[in-house]
Each structure stands twice: as structure tokens, then as C-alpha cells.
Amino acid sequence: MDFKSIAENIIDLKNADLELRDKLVQNGQLTEGYNEEMKELHNRNAKILSGIIDAIGYPTIDKVGSEANEATWLIIQHSIEQPALMKKCAELLETAVKENKADPKNLAYLTDRIAVFEGKQQLYGTQFDWDANGNLSPNHFDDLIKVNERRNLIGLNTLQEQTEFIRRQAEDENQLPPADFGKRKQEVEEWKITVGWTK
């Protein structure tokens, strides 16, 4: 098994993802729903990565190096139309983190993302969305003190600091809130049902 070429392949997938995101940011298209080109790329990347995981197991740091391990997480994080794959990877990543073969921050982000899609509270406050006031705010979480304790344990900044950072980043990228908040919320809920996150 040639782990080096597998690592390079994973990094290429991540780079294609980030290049497309940059292009959409430049064109001001990032916040206009789930861009069709991006959706196709995310699903294609997910399929390729799923095949890699079937072949070698989870691409841990000891197998593919830290850059490809980080890239693996990003691809999974963006596999939002593949609930089964995301959940399977969360379990694999949890084992990898316990064995010190992956970053606990990545597990926190993935766990939160799945929780948000399933309509549950997030534990680390890593997932943000536009609120009714047109601000980017953390999705539903349990308790601010507990969230900050959990974040601190894995080396993340406070949720207040992260909120400030996320809002500044959105401003720098000229991201705008949805024109119709209620309509967007409804579309997201319908999408979750369509791809199998909720019933």
C-alpha cells in the first residue's frame, strides 16, 4: 500500500475544495445557499475518501502524515450530504484521537457538525450560522461555561473570542446574511430531511 501517494491524493482533494471556496468568496456566491458546483465537489471528494477509508482505514497521522490527516477531516466536515459517512468517520476519528493519531479539535468540530444537522445541541460551539438579526452566531449549545471548559481542554479559544473571529472573517470575505431568514431556515430543514439528517 503506497501511503505517500494516498496522502498526496487526499491533499489534492482538500486543495480543490479550498480553491473552489476561494472562487465563490471572490464572486460573492458563498452565502447564496449550497452552490451546485460545490455540492458536486463535496460529494465527489466524499466518495473518493470513502474508498480510501475502505482500503486503509481512517487516514491517521502515522499512516498519511499530519497534513493529509488534517485534509481528511476537512473533506469529511464538508461531506454534508453523506450522513452515514460522517457518522462512521466520527467513530473512526474518536478511536484515532484516543490513540493520539489525530487532533481532538477535529473530533470536536465533526461531533458538533453532526449534532447541529441532527437538531441537537453542540458541545464545543464550533458551528455557526446566521441568526434572525443578521449576525453569525454559534448554533444551539448547552451551557456557555461548560462549552468554554470543553474548548479549553482541547486548546480552543473561548466561544466569545471565536464568535468575534468568525464575524470578522465573514466581514473580510464580504459574506452577507440571507435576504430572507425564514425562507433560508425552511430550505435548510427541508434539505436535512432530503439527505437523511432528520425525518
Q: What's the pTM?
A: 0.94
pLDDT digits (tens, 9 = 90+) for 185-198: 999 999 999 999 99
Q: Are 184 and 178 in contact (CB under 8 A)?
A: yes
CA distance 91 to 177: 33
CA distance 21 to 72: 17
Q: Which helix (H) or strand (E) holds 72?
A: helix 61-77
- Residue-level pLDDT at 25: 86
Contacts of 166 (CB under 8 A, 6+ apart): 128, 136
Q: Give the domain ranges of the chain.
A: 1-102, 120-199
Closest CA to 80 of 106, 116, 52: 116
What would the DSSP string read from start to end of 131-185?
-TTS-EEEPPBS-HHHHHHHHHHTT---HHHHHHHHHHHHHHTT----S-HHHHH
pLDDT interval class at 42 (50, 70, 90): very high
pLDDT digits (tens, 9 = 90+) for 89-133: 999 999 999 999 999 999 999 999 999 999 999 999 999 999 999
Written as nine digits, the cell of 101 is 493519531
pLDDT interval class at 1 (50, 70, 90): confident
Q: What percent of the chain has pLDDT over 70?
A: 99
Cβ burial, residue 98 (10 Å; 0-12/13-18/19+)? exposed
Dihedral sign for Cα atoms in the order 185, 189, 192, 198 = positive
At residue 123, what is the residue type? L
pLDDT digits (tens, 9 = 90+) for 8-39: 999 999 999 999 999 998 887 776 778 999 99
